[in-house]
A and B are shown apart, each in its own frame.
Chain A
Amino acid sequence: MRRSLVISGTAHAVLLLWGLVAFAARPSEAPPTESLPVEFVSATEFSQLTAGVKNAPKPIENAKPLADKVGDPKPVKELAPKVADKPEIRTDSAAPPEPKPETKAQPKSAEKPEPKSEPKAEPKPAEKAEKQKAKPDQIADESKKDEAKKPPKPEKKQPEFKPDQIAEELKKDEAKKQRPAPKFDANQVAALLDHREPQRQLATAETLNGVAALGASTGHAAHLSQSELDALRAKLISLWNPPPAVSTHPDQYIVAIRIRLGRDHRLIGQPEVLTSGDGPLFEATRDSAVRAVMQAQPYDMLSLTTYDLWKEIDINFDPKDVFGG
């Protein structure tokens, strides 16, 4: 009895001693973790981070809308005051046979005066503006080129039209264009109004360009914030369930789909499949992509302030990474 007590006591003592030595020699230490600075950035702040840069590369799409709409080379700041002189701009833009200016000119087409004087008057300030801004402003460069092409047109056509004729012409156009109006519901009317607005905003040079980073007038790139895009992407990824058989040849089953969205964040009409293919596997893959797009409704991760950017979205469903590469 006593002997066993001694043995037990000794064994425990040895064990405790061993523990002391073993663990003290190699203390289990938690590796120090570096703290990560975390900042909260809202969606709007983020999009402001992507504001325009003057020396940004000039995207091709960017150039076109700017030239088309403004029709003169002035930088934005100088255009702004002219918004007040609406009649001048309109008659000017009504003369050339461009469709957009005509529709926008409708409301004030009744005002006949000053059709000829303006076009002549305008190019001059434009030239001035060019000289002033020539170096830094690429928009101006771009407009210059267009300017070079455009001025001849008004000069040719002006003699053909008397002011009254223009007015009549415009009235006819107006009549034509007003007919379909009753078809539209409230939403579409709203959309129409938005289309007209750019004529005034034209002066402030707003464009629908997603990549307008050329130091645009607003100072902000009109861009979907990364958080919105990420949310959209994450939602579609979670919903896309492509057939497993595509894993053998994922490159043959890429499906591009165009969706049109309303301001209620829901699809307008059916998604449009842009790629073509045949065979049951393409059909099944296409259907899986359409299904994902339908199920992702409502697309409320997109903010209404950028509606113009996401009213139409192209989505490429590419199964290359779905099955672990």
Chain B
Amino acid sequence: MRARGLTQFACVSRRDALVAGGAALASLLIAPWPAAAVTIDITQGNVQPMPIAIPDFLGGAPGDNETAQGVSQIIAANLKRSGLFAPIDPAAFLEKIANVDAVPRFPDWRTINAQALVTGRVTRQPDGRLKAEFRLWDVAAGQQLAGQQYFTTPDNWRRIAHIISDAIYERLTGEKGYFDSRVVFVDETGPAERRIKRLAIMDQDGANVRYLTRGDELVLTPRFSPSTQEITYMAYGAGDPRVYLLNIETGQREIVGNFPGMSFAPRFSPDGQRVAMSLQEGSNSNIFVMDLRSKAMTRLTDTAAIDTAPSYSPDGARLCFESDRGGRPQIYIMGASGGQAQRISFGDGSYSTPVWSPRGDYIAFTRQAGGKFAIGVMKPDGTGERVLTEGFHNEGPTFAPNGRVIMFFRDPGGTAGPSLYTIDIAGRNELREPTPSFASDPAWSPLLS
């Protein structure tokens, strides 16, 4: 399941950038451009999902058609779910793409208001591998923006579709994508009083669900390692709850450290070398970090309060965590080696489960106030706090690899169970994440490739 050797065959965008950059530089060197007669400033825009046309990819041979269509459908679904694109109904298409290597008839695509067009082809190679290639066209300018081809094993075709989706997303939005990623979560089945909780992993779009534990013990708070090969989580085994480490590929699992009392709320450091977690100390808890190689344990906080839910900044230099040292649970920040902590949350109610965005620009949290649970974000200095969603019970935010989307779980109460939802960090585009049954405690992986 590792990233296969992916080769690039054309990257027009880079050349374009060079030419444009060179031209701009030249114009700067020659003279400060003489102003044209009329200069106007446009400081407003019309932000809306970009209309994009994604006709079915072509099969290299008749047998490949099904896979080829599947690839284009996954790309369309991914881009649509992002909220930034509006795939156009194929019924409206005027031109039928018959050759991926030919330049499309742009006027036909302009007529249906497409701004971007994706064409592609999937071919089975003599050695059994699949070759998938795509071209991204700017319809208005009549130019190719990107074009790449990938080789993979046939059973990996969905991943190729995700990788192509990421390439399109990045070229058109200017940001890294998040489609080639997975989510680990707690799958919940059975009646409310005897819920069976199993660790499960799936693709970001809900496909390829796989169960990692059998359901004979209660599991909570799974977290991905940066390598995406391991997860850490808490489980109620025979005795006290413990933090475990599980290798997704081999199924091998081990206890992280062996301490008296409860250990919980684990999270990997960005380099994957350490795990920060909480250890019970009487009726309080403090934050510790364990070096996974040397197994050395370091204490980071020492207070007569409940300090928990540590989460590293992407550079690994700082930690945000939750503490009730001020009375109610609030969010604090401290250096990665401990020391003085600084409180950053000051709103009503209590704040818990802070998570630092992989981009570093926001910290997501769960806030409980007025009998409601809200998911929100604030900047690491505590400013710019905003609530993204609020209701009976929302909890457990986790960031997509590009830091633009947050997944969380929502429990409607009553006899129904929790489900996973995604929402973007502006609070728009809330969508339910498809899961086979009830689900909670999602954790988004980094990009796989």
A88 within 8 A of B: no
Any chain A CB within 8 A of the CB of B48?
Answer: yes
Of residues 285 to 325 in A, which have CB atoms within 8 Å of B's CB atoms?
Answer: 285-287, 290-292, 294-295, 308-323
- A258 touches B (CB below 8 Å): yes
B37 touches A233 (CB 8 A): no
Q: In the bound complex, how far is the Cα of B38 from the Cα of A233, in angstroms?
A: 12
Compute how far the CA of A239 lies from the CA of B113 in the bound complex, rounded to whole angstroms: 11
Q: How far is the CB of A207 from chain B (nearest CB, A)?
A: 11
Would you call B37 and A243 a contact (CB within 8 A)? no
Contact between B42 and A310 (Cβ–Cβ < 8 Å)? no
- Return the CB mask of B19-36 against A: 1 if under 8 Å, else 0: 011011101100001011
Query: A284 CA to B115 CA in the complex, in Å?
Result: 13
Q: Does B44 contact A (CB under 8 A)?
A: yes
Within 8 A of A (CB), among B131-177: 138, 140-141, 145, 170-175
CB of B38 within 8 A of CB of A280, answer no
Determine whether the beta carbon of A283 is less than 8 Å from that of B24: no
- CB pair B24–A244 under 8 Å, yes or no, is no
Alpha-carbon separation in the docked complex, A274 to B24 (Å): 6
Q: B39: CB under 8 A from chain A?
A: yes
Contact A310/B47 with A273-B20, A318-B42 known, Cβ cut-off 8 Å: no
Are A314 and B140 touching (Cβ within 8 A)?
Answer: no
Please, how many residues of chain B have a CB less than 8 angstroms from a CB on the other chain?
A: 40
Could you tell me if A313 and B40 are in contact, using CB atoms closer than 8 angstroms?
A: yes
Q: At the interface, yes or no: B389 with Cβ under 8 Å from chain A?
A: no
Is B175 a contact of A280 with CB atoms below 8 Å? Answer: yes
A322–B43 CB distance below 8 A? yes
- Give A206-225 as 1s and 0s: 1 = Cβ < 8 Å from B's Cβ atoms: 00101000000000000010
Chain A residues with CB under 8 A of B48:
241
> A263-291 toward B: CB 8 Å interface, digit per residue (1/0)?
00000001011111011111111110011
Which of B17, B35, B173 is within 8 Å of A245, CB to CB?
Answer: B173
B17 & A283 in contact (Cβ 8 Å cutoff): yes
Q: Are A310 and B37 within 8 A (Cβ)?
A: yes
- B103: which A residues are within 8 A, CB to CB? none
Which one, A210, A229, A244, contacts B173 given CB within 8 A?
A244
Interfacial chain B residues near A313, Cβ < 8 Å: 36-40
Given the known A-B contacts A245-B175, A273-B24, A280-B175, are A291 and B40 also in contact in the complex, defined by CB atoms under 8 Å? no
Out of A274, A282, A287, which one reaches B27, CB within 8 Å?
Answer: A274
- Set of chain B residues within 8 Å of A295, measured between Cβ atoms: 140
Contact B40 A208 (CB under 8 A): no
Inter-chain contact A294/B140, CB cutoff 8 Å: yes
Using CB atoms, name the residue of chain A closest to B425. A244
Interface contact B174-A245, CB-CB below 8 Å:
yes
B20 to chain A, nearest CB (A): 6
How close is B177's CB to chain A, nearest CB, in angstroms?
11
Most buried by B among A244, A272, A282, A292: A244
A245–B170 alpha-carbon span in the complex (Å) = 11
A287 touches B138 (CB 8 A): yes
Q: For the complex, what is the distance from the CA of A278 to the CA of B27, rounded to whole Å?
A: 16
Asked whether any CB of chain A lies closer than 8 Å to the CB of B89, the reply is no
Selected from A224, A229, A240, A315, the residue in CB contact (under 8 A) with B45 is A240
Within the assembled complex, what's the spacing in Å between the Cα atoms of A248 and B359? 12
Knowing A239-B46, A322-B47, the reply to whether A276 touches B40 (Cβ < 8 A) is: no
Residues from chain A with Cβ under 8 Å of B130 in the complex: none
Q: A224 CA to B39 CA in the complex, in Å?
A: 11
Given A274-B27, A291-B138, decide whether A316 and B174 contact each other with a Cβ distance below 8 A.
Answer: no
- Return chain B residues, CB-CB under 8 Å to A312: 36-38
Chain B: minimal CB distance from A320 (Å): 5
Kindly state the separation between the CA atoms of A226 and B50 in the bound complex, as whole angstroms. 31
Asked if A284 contacts B40 (CB within 8 A), the reply is: no
CB distance from B401 to the nearest CB of A (A): 14
Residues of A contacting B33 in the complex (Cβ-Cβ under 8 angstroms): 258, 274
Task: Say if the beta carbon of A89 comes within 8 Å of chain B.
Answer: no
Contact A244 B13, beta carbon cutoff 8 Å: no
Whether A284 contacts B47 by the Cβ 8 Å rule is no
CB distance from B104 to the nearest CB of A (A): 16
B84 close to chain A: CB less than 8 A: yes
The reply on A238 being an interface residue by CB < 8 A is: yes
Q: Please pick, from B17, B20, B39, B426, the residue contacting A314 in the complex, using a CB distance under 8 A.
A: B39
B361 close to A (CB within 8 Å) = yes
Question: Chain B residues near A83 (CB, 8 Å)?
Answer: none
B-side residues, CB < 8 A to A, are 13, 17, 20-21, 23-25, 27-28, 33, 35-48, 50, 84, 115, 138, 140-141, 145, 170-175, 361, 404, 426
CB-CB nearest 4 A-B residue pairs: A281-B174, A284-B174, A276-B24, A240-B45
A-B contact pairs, 27 of them (CB 8 A): A237-B44, A240-B46, A243-B172, A243-B173, A244-B84, A258-B33, A270-B141, A273-B24, A275-B24, A276-B21, A278-B21, A279-B174, A283-B17, A286-B20, A287-B138, A290-B141, A291-B138, A291-B140, A292-B42, A310-B38, A311-B37, A313-B36, A315-B40, A317-B45, A322-B43, A322-B45, A323-B47
